[in-house]
A and B are shown apart, each in its own frame.
Chain A
């Protein structure tokens, strides 16, 4: 039975889109998500379904054949995808994020080359920042791109690349000037296409949750790319460009937190009315009502915070403070709410028969990837301090 998850979307067309995606999720995703998840199998039919709806072109500008919808709409869509299965919102995340980086910072040649192919999508995108010895401290990356005539030659090792086996183009953060100070001035981002000689995608990680979508290593062994693969065509701008694109990723991950928490809550409030203990439905024990009220309040706050950050981004102003707060809050409450939903279900919640254990395992990646909660707090504090000069 449909609850109106689009109620807080301010734009009516975006609201209709979110409702329609929700119907698709309820019918196509919810019944099969746990099966794919337990097998860690890539959900090709669901990805085809998302493509058919047009989700991969959601943020591509109309001039390049996309739908050019708002971030508010995108956030609502990601919440609904994650309500069915968090991994689907992850499959689309780096795609939209890299598409955004190309649109905002790419050269016209790069836009024309890639953006139309992202709509169908003919190719999907991955983002590769993290390395074995550099995660939160992204400026510590060692992968190097050395200019050689009209080309760059890339060498290095990347870790934790979501969509790392099936992407057609990878936005890869490298050092073009390892000696630069501050280090970010020596960092450049490249659009590396799958099939580039010397570029291979390696081992797929076996993860706690976030299954179905592959997260892999990447190796660059004298991988040669043309100079036209340098995002924006300018060396030393990659760090800024990727950090700006990560705002889009934070809106996505915040939305995932809302969606997974909502799914857990929806199951919990129904179960609490059916399960009887000590002679009455457990929901009639006031402790459970209080628990449900707290869960719902957290989810609502996270939803509004996330939509607010998305609308801020739509208005064109920098939104790293807002996106950071939304990501921090929504993913932290998602951990709490999924555990509370497990508690309400008692023993059956721990069984693989129900999706509660999946929600619970899917929550932690969101407080880690795309900037850990600690890093979000640092970003938030840095922004606040800028606003309070003394």
Chain B
């Protein structure tokens, strides 16, 4: 089974809130000083899922794709060090300011260029923007099924049986292949890269493709061509007021609280 895994590099979600800044005029996040970007936490789980399927299947190739700046190479190297076979970095100054739909378009084009694939695995969402639309976008552009928020899967004849996480439980669905599956944190811990694999990964070359390499024109990408115009970007101001509810007995306090909540239309 040939599998493609999409991994994204994001600002470290553990960055303390105080170092998180937004340039409201440019509508951009200002990267925190001295804190290295990391792999989106769900994406190593997608890589782990690919490795387990490959091992159970006894063969096939795992190709890792990331769209991002040159530093996104580290996200690819991490997947290679976990045991993936090949890496492609989609990088182009023209990608600056792209939206989710353009990202999905570019990834779909790169996936078509990679060619033979049976399965595309992604994280359930990227922990920076947390929108979770890229997997669906890629599937719809490629015209193949998508199963989102998976916690487990196994090969089932020519298809795949996938266990999904729901709000109130789990469900198991079957899909034909090729398909896109997005992996959730319930999937379990990804493996740590072993020293030997890190050494092997260092010897592998990551291919770099530009927008033109995957057949995207300058009029399709970049901030000017977003499908999803960004109106404003700002850090919300959270206000909190504390009010002490007076009363002689707990019953009186509770009644006063209930009345206030009703007045505020909260209950």
Contact = CB atoms under 8 A, between A and B. Distances in A.
A53 B36 contact: no
Interface stretch (B9-17, B166-174, B206-214): B9-17
A13 B35 contact: no
Interface residues of A, number: 20
A4 interface: yes
Nearest to B14: A1
Interface string B7-34: 0000010111000000000000000001
B152 interface: no
A55 B194 CA distance: 9
A157 to B, nearest CB: 38
A1 B35 contact: yes
Nearest to B12: A1
A201 interface: no
Contacts of A12: 202
B198 A13 contact: yes
Interface string A63-103: 00001010000000000000000000000000000000000
Contacts of A228: none
B48 to A, nearest CB: 14
A281 to B, nearest CB: 12
Contacts of B77: 16
Interface in A122-148: none
Contact of A23 (B15, B192, B202): B192
Contact of B194 (A2, A3, A52): A52
Interface in A1-46: 1-4, 12-13, 16-17, 20, 23-24
A344 interface: no
Given A54-B196, A69-B195, A16 B81 contact: yes
Interface majority SS on B: helix, strand, loop or mixed?
loop
A17 B35 contact: no
Interface string A261-281: 000000000000000000000
A253 B36 CA distance: 29
A24 B16 contact: no
B195 A54 contact: yes
Nearest to A12: B202
A250 B77 CA distance: 33
Contacts of B202: 12-13, 16
A17 B195 contact: yes
Nearest to A1: B14
Contacts of A53: 192, 194-195
A67 B36 contact: no
18 contacts: A1-B35, A2-B12, A2-B14, A2-B35, A12-B202, A13-B198, A16-B77, A16-B81, A17-B195, A20-B192, A20-B193, A20-B195, A53-B192, A53-B195, A54-B195, A54-B196, A67-B195, A67-B196
A187 interface: no
Given A2-B36, A13-B202, A16-B77, A58 B14 contact: no
B133 interface: no
B142 interface: no
A55 B195 CA distance: 7
Nearest to A13: B202
B53 interface: no
Interface string A297-317: 000000000000000000000
Contacts, number: 47
A134 B34 CA distance: 49
Contacts of B36: 2, 4
Interface of B: 12, 14-16, 34-36, 38, 77, 81, 192-196, 198-199, 202
A190 B198 CA distance: 36
Contacts of B192: 20, 23-24, 49, 52-53
Contacts of A2: 12, 14, 35-36, 38
Among A4, A20, A52, A67, the most chain B Cβ lie within 10 Å of the Cβ of A20
A52 to B, nearest CB: 7
B199 A67 contact: yes
Given A54-B194, A67-B199, 11 more contacts: A1-B16, A4-B36, A17-B198, A20-B192, A20-B198, A23-B192, A49-B192, A52-B192, A55-B195, A58-B195, A67-B196
Among A1, A13, A55, A67, the most chain B Cβ lie within 10 Å of the Cβ of A1
Contacts of A52: 192, 194
Nearest to A16: B198
Contacts of B12: 1-2
A87 to B, nearest CB: 20
A58 B35 CA distance: 29
Contacts of A3: 34
Contacts of B193: 20
A20 B81 contact: yes
Contact of A1 (B15, B81, B194): B15
Nearest to B195: A54
A92 to B, nearest CB: 13
B264 to A, nearest CB: 34
A158 to B, nearest CB: 32
A53 B198 CA distance: 10
A4 B74 CA distance: 14
A154 to B, nearest CB: 36
A57 B199 CA distance: 13
A54 B36 CA distance: 26
Contacts of B38: 2
Among B34, B36, B198, the most chain A Cβ lie within 10 Å of the Cβ of B198
Contacts of B34: 3
Contacts of A20: 81, 192-193, 195, 198
Contacts of A23: 192
A31 to B, nearest CB: 14
A2 B74 CA distance: 14
B3 to A, nearest CB: 23
A54 B81 CA distance: 13
B7 to A, nearest CB: 16
